[in-house]
Each structure stands twice: as C-alpha cells, then as structure tokens.
Copies of this chain bind each other. A is one copy, B any other.
Amino acid sequence: MKLHGKNIVGGEPVTCSGPTFQHRSPLDLAPLEPPFEEASPTAIHRALEFADACFGEFQSRSQQDRAKFLEAIADQIMRLGDTLLKQAHQESGLPLDRLTGERGRTVGQLRLFASIVREGSWVDARIDPPLPERQPVPRPDLRRMLVPLGPVIVFGASNFPLAFSVAGGDTASAFAAGCPVVVKGHPAHPGTSELVAGAINDAARICGLPLGVFSLIHGGPETGRALVRHPLAKAVGFTGSRAAGLALNQVALSRPEPIPFFGELSSLNPVFLLPESLKERSQQIADGLKGSITLGVGQFCTKPGIVIGIAGPDFTRFASQFKESVEKAASGTMLHQGIAESYLSSLRSMSSIDEVEAFAVSEVNQDSLPGAKGTPVVLKTSARNFIQHRELWEEVFGPYTLLIEADSREEMQKLAQSLSGQLTATIHATTGDIHAFRPLISALQTKAGRIVLNGFPTGVEVSPAMQHGGPFPSTTDSRFTSVGTAAILRWTRPICLQNFPEFLLPDELRDRNPLGIMRQLDGQLTR
C-alpha cells in the first residue's frame, strides 16, 4: 500500500502545492517517505464546507446507521493488518505489541460507541406530556433530546497514534453523536494517519454515507489555528501540550462565535504514599511506581509526575527500594527526536533548581540504543521547596518523577491543597491511613477528575464510569471526559420541541418509543 502524502478532503486526496514535511523515524532518525503536503487554506476551507454540507444528512441518519458506520471503521482498520502496525512502529517507535494492544483499544472504542448509539438512551430524551386543563395556564407538549453540534475538529495526539488520533476516541465519539469530523493529523505519524483515514473513507463508502463526513488535514500550528478559527467548525477536541492547548483554546473562545474547546492538556498526577502503607508494602509500591513511570517511556498523560511521602524510616526504606528499581529500569525509544530533546532539557532545568537532588538514574547500559532515547530519572526535593518553586510543577513528558519528602502530615496536606487541577490523584493507604488522612482524601477530590486508591493512574479504562478530565489546567473543561462512553456528551446540545406532531418527531421522542430507549416521561425514567 503506497502512501500518497496528500490531504484527504471529502474522501479524495487533494494536491496542495505549498510546503511539505518529512517525519524522521525515532528508531534511527532516518527520514521517512513520502514527504507530506501541508494543507492549503483552500483545502482547509473545502474540508469544513464538505463537513457542513453533509451535516444535515449525517445527523438525520438513524442511530443504527451511525452504529454500522463505527463498526465498519473498526473492520476497515483491522483489514489494514500488519501494514498499519508496521507504519505506526516506524513512525512512533512504539513496540509492535504495544501498537497491537492500542489497535485493540481503538477498534474496541469504535465498537463501544456503536453499542451506545445502537442502544440509544444516551440522548437523554425527556417528554413532558401536555396539561391542557392546568390553571392558570395549560402546559404545552414538551420533548427534549440531545442533538449534535455540527462539524468537529479533532487534533491527533502524538502519544497514541491509533487510540487518540485519526480514528481515536474523539473521532469515534463525535461520529457517534452525529457530527462530521475534520482531523488535524499529528505530524509525527502522518503515514499512520493516511492509512486510518483511508479506512474511514472506505467505511463511509460501504455505509453509503456522504464522504464529506470526514477529512484529514496535515500541517503545523498555523494549520491548527486555521481549522479552529473556521466559522463552520462547531467544537474542538484536543489532546496535547498545555502551551499548544491553551493557545488553541484562546482561538476558539475569541471567535465571533465562540465554540466549545475540549483540551486535555497536562497533569502532575500526584501519588501520595501514606505511612502505614509504606510500612506494610514499600517494595510493592516501589516496583509498581517504577512500572507506572516507565510505561510507554513515561509518555502517558496520567504518568505520576510527583510522589509525596512523609519523612521517616519507612519512607527512607521505600525511597531506597524505588531508587534501586529505577536504576535497573531500561531506557526506551521516545516518540520523536523533539520529545527526547525536550525531555533532556526539562531534566536539566529541574535539576538546576535549588535543593533539587538527582536521586536515581537508570544504570542499564544502553549506549547501543540508537534514535530518540528516554532514560528513567528520579529527582528529589522537600515539600517546602516544591510549594515554593512553581517551575517544579511543570509536566515532564518522559520516564521521570519527582520524589517529595514532607516533614509532617500537615505539610503533606498543605501541599495537596496548594495543587492546581489534575487528571488524577493517587493515594496508597491502609484502612488505618484512610481514617487518619480523611482531610487529604477530601482535598484531593476537589483537585482531580479521578482518584485512585492503592493503584496507579496509568491505564485509563474505556468504560461508562471513566472520568478522564479534571479541573483546570489539566483540562479546559472539567465537566466532560475525553475517555469512556460519556465522551459522546461533548459534541451535543439539548433541543426542546414544543407541540410537534408525532410524524415530525424523531424516533427518540415518539409516543410509542419505537427505539425502546430509557426516557424521562413526566420526570420518571422509563422505557
């Protein structure tokens, strides 16, 4: 399967005669073929026009049709077979087994959203029957349900070339909601993006959907801004760095018509180690933490960035076990050379801060590992110093964490309360610890979207109860999640139809409930 390197607009590759870019494989830093064309303003405009033009038709298709489309995308991705996995491996450096798992997650997400829309109750249908005799005024017939917002811009993320990229969770949930999608592919895996875009187009053809329902746009930051600024765009899904996300958020909010921007930006994912848990199982925690920090070469948004304990012999023992574990951890290939360089430069800045000590560095000899290497590193400081130095609060993307020693329970509490918004917060605690540290557990619930007890934050389940989104600045909108079935709610708004005759109502709101969905009838949930 030969890649063409072009933008794909309304189902067809379009030639853009401007600049091209070429990604270098992180495995050996060699440039990968072909070069990819950056989208012209015309290509961007046409992608949005196509999306807008087919919105009415796509939205009016039954939920069954949307479910079939999502399943067809999953099937077409699987049909790409090893070609897709090898391309993603070349471009991202991620091992084939990880990519095989990520592909499973990607098609699993698509099929999960298919099941959600096939079942149909997610539209939160509500029917208030009319009360014609009510005094002083009658109540009209009111029926409400969620409807799609319109064309959605999705930014592919570098760290999940399949699961959070072209046909990832944002795209799957937007299609499920009934929104056409324009993806800004991540420039660190353009070939993977092209392959998956082909799978989506094939699925649209198989399902007889208008091809404007999906376009893939290549380019850099200005291309991203142009997409977000476009008047026909109605919402944006973004996973990436805080700086890029906040800049795009600003673009979305300063449009003449501001649009919702769902940015999943960055997080320290603090891990609190309570005294009794360290007494009981410090080795187990040390090993688990090492695993969580080095998983995927530390390139997960839920990687623990700070680990906090209270000074004492148990903490000291844990620290030395953790040090030993990290020193034995191997380096890995990072997603691209730019990330590897940022990792080194962040480590240099962090280490140069007062009272920050280089605590553990991998001692595995991997000089022979070519390409973009990331080496496990732990720095250490005091809670007082951490609270004072906001530079230590920056997310470091890579196999790194900061070990923080608090003098007392009060200082640990103070640190917790000083934190900004987080995707996750983790606590290792015995039952005794839980009773002794209730204020800490309460404080963390105001800081994070997910609270993990006696586990590790990496590994984000795609399920109904998942919440992947916390208070600002971990995400731009803590009221929504980018992972799990509730992610579909990001792309919708409620509409109320008053006094509509039965024949003009969508199936979801008809009297006899032909879809058999759960609805609020006069405030009572019923099928």
Contact = CB atoms under 8 A, between A and B. Distances in A.
B501 A260 contact: no
Contact of A504 (B441, B449, B479): B441
A32 interface: no
B465 A260 contact: no
Interface residues of A, number: 70
Interface string A248-268: 000001000110100000000
Contacts of A473: 257
Nearest to A101: B136
A218 B520 CA distance: 39
A284 B298 CA distance: 70
Contact of A494 (B140, B453, B486): B486
A454 B523 CA distance: 25
Interface in A509-527: 518, 520, 522-523, 525
A485 interface: yes
Give the number of copies in the complex.
Answer: 2
A345 interface: no
Contacts of A476: 258
Interface string A118-135: 000100001110000000
A140 B434 contact: no
Contact of A496 (B144, B450, B501): B450
B481 A467 contact: no
A499 interface: yes
A459 interface: yes
B495 A467 contact: yes
A471 B101 CA distance: 40
A493 B472 contact: no
Contacts of A258: 472, 476
Given A253-B253, A498-B455, A465 B144 contact: yes
Contact of A465 (B142, B431, B448, B486): B142
Nearest to A500: B453
6 contacts: A142-B463, A253-B253, A258-B472, A258-B476, A453-B500, A479-B493
Interface of A: 56, 101, 121, 126-128, 136-137, 139-140, 142-144, 147, 149-150, 253, 257-258, 260, 420-421, 431, 434, 441-442, 445-446, 448-455, 459, 461, 463-467, 469, 471-473, 476-479, 481, 485-486, 492-501, 504, 518, 520, 522-523, 525
